[in-house]
Structure 1
Amino acid sequence: MTTYRRLGRSGLHLFPLGLGSMQFGWSADEAASFELMDAYHAAGGNFIDTADIYTTWTPGNPGGVSEEIIGRWLKSRGRRDDVVIATKVRGPMGEGGSEGRGSIHQREGLSRRWILKACEDSLRRLGVDHIDLYQAHYIDNQTPIEETMDAFTELVKRGYVRYLGASNYSGWRLMQALWTSDQKGLESFVSLQPEYSLLSPTRANFERELGRVCVEYGLGVIPWSPLGGGMLTGKYKRGAPLPDSVRAEGNARSRFSDRNFDIVETLEAVAGRHGARPAQVALAWLLAQPGVTAPIIGANSVAQLTDLLGTLDLTLSADDLAEISRVSDWERARTELER
């Protein structure tokens, strides 16, 4: 039986793997998206993460498409009370992510004006009367943190939002937000959504600073890209031709290195001992890290999703975890870069 995990010090209890929805309306059409949410919910899943800007970078998509698909699924299935809905605010809305940028009708940021409007728009698209976790997608250098946290606090007071989270914040920015909330008597972040995996380029910063802040101050961690853009699934082989994948060329440029292939091959060895898959081992390692509540996974098919959900049947030993941590140590990565 799956044990749900409390998100930091909040009243939210999450399935150990969240369902990301960046692919909804992009690489997964609405029918496929419904199938994914049906399968996820049937497995006990209760945590769906989205953002208002998903996916403005695709032609003909002005943003909000993922939220609209989730909203129609919630209505058709009558699942609102069974699901924790998380969405985000900050990025530019409009096709190509550029509509209104730099104009008097600015449609992005973390200003009071934009947060209040963006939240109401997300509520409408989702077809709900409240958002369970409303997250600042990334920092807005043009807006004082006091204004941002005050606007978020008003949303909580109105009943539009239950809890607040941050995403892609640096350590000092996160501490600034927590300090401001404490000093001004404002609502505070209960979670952080960072890029975090065995391969993430910001892993050292997370483990050295952000992760410690989250543990010390009781924030739950819900990592995005927990499989390193697919690299940790094992589909990329050292010295082998690239697979047919939309991410293959980008991964070859940014993720192919001796260290990363050593990590993947270690995951394959550990998986072999457990009758598991490398992706499951990578997720199980992440779930064992301090402060981590629920990594956010993505899938384009029910088969892919089912495979990843198999992680919850896997228990890694202390020796397994130590072996993976040793081969992936970021001090080793720093040393290789300095050679």
Structure 2
Amino acid sequence: MKYRTLGRSGLKVSVLSMGTFSFGGQGPFAAIAAQSGDEAARLVDCCLDHGVNLIDTANMYSNGLSEEILGGILASRDPDILVSSKARMRIGEGPNDEGASRWHLIRECERSLKRLGRDHIDIYHIHEWDGQTPVEETMEALDTLIRQGKIRYAGCSNYTGWQIMKSLMASERANFQRFVTQQIHYTLEAREAEYELLPLSVDQGLGVTVWSPIAAGLLSGKHTRDTPIAAGSRQARGWSEPPIRDMARLWRIVDVLTEVAARHEVEAAQVALAWTLGRPAVSSVIVGGTSEAQFAANMAAFDLELTDADLASLDEVSRPPLIYPLWHQSQFAAPRYGAGDGILKSS
């Protein structure tokens, strides 16, 4: 396994980390899997055996059951394994059962700690933007949790660029601990993060972790234009995330992924993961799976070296268009680009 620093922090994380989205299988998560007990423990051990040192969960995954299952497994594993969790989503019917308020975040952090059986969470993310809570309150709550030793680092997930910058400004103005990471959806099919989120991460030193890097299996090679919904997949069970706005483009990307994979004698999923790992600011890619074989195959992605020709063909089929003001800047500002500029042309 290879390890990278998480943004400008000193924390080293494995380039491939484990997602526990499928632990528990309660509510809508039943469309993915319902792993628990010995099965979940075997999958965790498979990842740990491959050098993974970061496992990701959230308070709302299966209504907290994912955290509970993970906590039970890690109780007898290396205490230095890093755990990432999140809060913000609705987890009850009360008026304060969602959001990024001080009240909600502190309560949910303490609940997560109990479920995980730990005295701290290594990386704690705000799971989604909350436009009704002042960012100063959110950042102060995270700073409080850090100073209390309940969390080590703070991050955000699913924010826009301006929302991250507003949060960073609020923390720096008050001398609070700032975000060191953001967790985003980013794949060959979904490259919108290159407009704002990746340039911001390079400029501000945020380490990027990527969720659903194979687009919920759509980039695995198992789905094709002839069998767009593979038997036994989460899509076959009604899962609709992430949205695909141009199916013809998706299948063109899958065609190229399959061609590149054949040249390297690997699976299409490994090519998709290797491409994502090569992108600017990416610290770790979160992989999931339903079997030890699937996890083991995905773990091989960090050893895959894509050639310049591979990268060019993947970029050609997937690169999004320059939107305003990026197309204007590409014409007139390119000679004065900084480190975070021009990521769409950095393939």
In the superposition, the TM-score normalised over structure 2's length comes to 0.86
User: Cα distance 1:47–1:183, how it changes in 2: closer, same or farther (>3 A)?
Assistant: same
Match of 1:11 in 2: 10
| Alpha-carbon offset, residue 313 of structure 1 | 2.2
User: Cα distance 1:159–1:307, how it changes in 2: closer, same or farther (>3 A)?
Assistant: same
Taking the aligned partners of 2:159 and 2:243, their CA distance within structure 1 comes to 22
User: Cα distance 1:89–1:261, how it changes in 2: closer, same or farther (>3 A)?
Assistant: same
> Which residue of 219, 224, 239 maps to 2:206?
219
State the Cα RMSD in Å: 1.9
User: Cα distance 1:254–1:71, how it changes in 2: closer, same or farther (>3 A)?
Assistant: closer
Match of 1:257 in 2: 247
Taking the aligned partners of 2:116 and 2:228, their CA distance within structure 1 comes to 42
Q: Which amino acid aligns with 1:246?
A: R
> Which residue of 29, 47, 54 maps to 2:35?
29
Identical-pair percentage: 42
| Alpha-carbon offset, residue 93 of structure 1 | 1.2
Q: Which amino acid aligns with 2:110?
A: E
Taking the aligned partners of 1:115 and 1:84, their CA distance within structure 2 comes to 20
Matched, 1:319 2:318: no
| Alpha-carbon offset, residue 330 of structure 1 | 1.2
Match of 1:288 in 2: 278
Structure 1: stretches of 5+ with no match in the other structure:
56-62, 334-339
| Alpha-carbon offset, residue 238 of structure 1 | 1.6
| Alpha-carbon offset, residue 311 of structure 1 | 0.7
Q: Which amino acid aligns with 1:218?
A: G
Match of 1:337 in 2: none
Compare the two structures and name the one with the higher helix fraction.
1
Q: Which amino acid aligns with 1:88?
A: K
Match of 1:78 in 2: 77
Q: SS at 1:230's partner residue?
A: coil
Q: Which amino acid aligns with 1:287?
A: L
Contact 1:190–1:219 (Cα < 8 Å) also in 2: yes
Taking the aligned partners of 1:78 and 1:227, their CA distance within structure 2 comes to 28
Match of 2:234 in 1: 246
Match of 1:44 in 2: 51
Q: Which amino acid aligns with 1:25?
A: G
| Alpha-carbon offset, residue 241 of structure 1 | 6.2
Contact 2:216–2:242 (Cα < 8 Å) also in 1: no
Q: SS at 1:223's partner residue?
A: strand
| Alpha-carbon offset, residue 253 of structure 1 | 10
Match of 2:345 in 1: none
Match of 2:266 in 1: 276
Q: Which amino acid aligns with 1:50?
A: T
Contact 2:2–2:302 (Cα < 8 Å) also in 1: no
Q: SS at 1:193's partner residue?
A: strand
Taking the aligned partners of 1:238 and 1:110, their CA distance within structure 2 comes to 41
Matched, 1:120 2:110: yes
In the superposition, the TM-score normalised over structure 1's length comes to 0.88
Contact 2:121–2:150 (Cα < 8 Å) also in 1: yes
Q: Which amino acid aligns with 2:210?
A: P
Structure 2: stretches of 5+ with no match in the other structure:
26-32, 324-347
Match of 2:90 in 1: 92
Contact 2:123–2:153 (Cα < 8 Å) also in 1: yes
Deviations 1:47-73 (A, max 9, x none): 100000002xxxxxxx11011111101
Structure 1 segments of 4 or more deviating over 4 A?
A: 249-254
Match of 1:192 in 2: 182
Contact 2:229–2:235 (Cα < 8 Å) also in 1: no
Contact 2:212–2:286 (Cα < 8 Å) also in 1: yes
